[in-house]
Amino acid sequence: MKRRSWLIFAPGVTLALFLLPIGAGLLGTWLPSFGYLPVLGSEAFSLEPWRALFARPGLVESLRLTLISGLGGTLLAFALTIGFVAACHDTRFFAAARRLLAPLLALPHVAVAIGLAFLIAPSGWLLRLVSPWATGLELPPDVATLQDPNGLALALGLAVKETPFLLLMTLGALGQVRQGERLATARGLGYGPVAAWLKTVLPAVYPLIRLPIYAVLAFSLSVVDMAIVLAPATPPPLAVQVFNWFYDPDLALRTVASAGATLQLGLVIAGIALWRGGEILLRRLSRGWLTGGWRGWGGGLSRRFAAAALSLALALGYGGILALTLWSFAFRWRYPDALPASWTLDTWARQGDALWRISLTTLAIGLAAALIALALTLACLENEKRHGKAPGSRALWLLYLPLLVPQIGFLFGVQTLGAWSGLDGTWLAVIWSHLLFVLPYAFLALADPYRALDERYNRAALCLGASPGRVFWRIKLPLLLRPVLFAGAVAFAVSVAQFLPTVFAGAGRFTTLTTEAVSLAGGGDRRVIGVYAFLQAALPLAFFALAIALPAWRARRLPRAGR
């Protein structure tokens, strides 16, 4: 017991890594929002930053864009998820779609946004495929399909990126509610497949996916990198506007930016409260429908519609990555040609030195954050097993805290804390800031497989005289190699996708594939943008492929070793 007693500190250390930076970051953001910013010689509290914020032109339009894109993207992702699972839960397409989720889940947000922009822009690939033979267009139309004034392109991009995450969370929750037994009972009473799922499974599943939905809503209402690519720029959504104020040469705007970041936090809280109110209202309104005896229909039309909707979302995700690939190797691609007229490797060659340096930085940060997250996750889960202490709902809320608090709402304060402690712009600061968002995903990916491991393996090894540490390294880890590698791949992919943490904690000294892709997104050379966005997407996908290949390779070699 003495040798393993250090494990009891793992949950406390893990929570401290979350709570201390977030708490300090929020405080470091709130104080300047009320005029307290000693760096600028302002140490007296006042409401002047708020008056200046509300006097800024375009603020109301920024709030409108934020609400439309954030709520719209979350609603669309939720509808696609629930509609698909309800209508297609027992079909072959359901199993095929599950296999297609992981690659889209691995794609960074910016890569999805740039790929979607290459598809739906007025001169995008989708219109090229049907022009001029179907549209008669020899020139790109003057239509705002990208960066439209209502933020619909951003809402679509958010739905394409977040639907795989919500689907994965829903699939994980289905195993906890005995879906098969519920559906068998309902179908035996004459209910159609869709009605049976909505009436018996959804009420049990939804409480288990409520926190992931809130996390998607919080992210959608405060996203910066995707909004820079897909949302209008004059004015942009609130989070982008606040980001611009933070990095404006006029230092007086720092207090206005802090007030805007605080407003962004309030907007996210209001959005979650609005969603929660919608849950309560819908639950009350649906009581009669749930108990009214309506048994639905065969579900053929619903299945076709749900399958078509999800297929469209998957096609947009994979089509965007294909468009990135084509542009990265294209030499001449004039509108309305469906494919490039000629190909070249010159773009890759010209960017070779910069790509190598930036990729190494991205790889180093991602690997460090993923390995630390895996170590902390395994320590916490092993502590649960050894001491029989399963975390409650409060611990789950704390785990989701970095995902529920908007990044722009506390990262400026984290940067201030880093500058005060001398860590600003260091490797430690960047890796720690990534860890805030990497660790929750690593824990969510590994917790269920770890807890589901048959305890008899552990007991048998202990009865044979093995120490708990030896059991962990020689029995549990080999058995859990696939989920551990998958969790590591998820953690690495999340780290690669981080934009704001790299910018704020890195103080502009660290350039990753994500920060470079965002900075290039406003440029006019699609070939260069395609190179960086393609590599940004390829790096996490390579780790997912490795996570799949290594356990398979090991399984093939085990019988040979036995002989």
Burial (Cβ within 10 Å: 0-12, 13-18, ≥19) of residue 399: buried
Can you give the pLDDT at residue 39? 58
Give pLDDT, residue 2: 43
CA 283 to chain centroid: 28
Q: Are 529 and 320 in contact (CB under 8 A)?
A: no
Pick left, alpha or beta for residue 299 (phi over 0 → left; psi -120 to 50 → alpha; otherwise beta): left
Cα-based angle 102, 152, 514 (whole degrees, multiple of 5): 50
- For the segment 424-446, the average pLDDT, to the nearest whole number, is 90
Q: Which of 17-21, 232-236, 295-299 has the lowest mean pLDDT?
A: 295-299
pLDDT computed for residue 68 by the predictor: 95
CA distance 254 to 503: 16
Least confident of 60-69, 85-94, 163-172: 85-94
CA distance 382 to 378: 6
- Cis before residue 132, ω within 30 degrees of 0? yes
Task: Copy the structure tokens of residue 64.
Answer: 């409108």
Residue 316: predicted pLDDT: 93
H or E stretch covering 97: helix 92-106
Q: What average pLDDT does this structure show over 194-201? A: 88
Lowest mean pLDDT among 69-78, 134-143, 487-496: 134-143
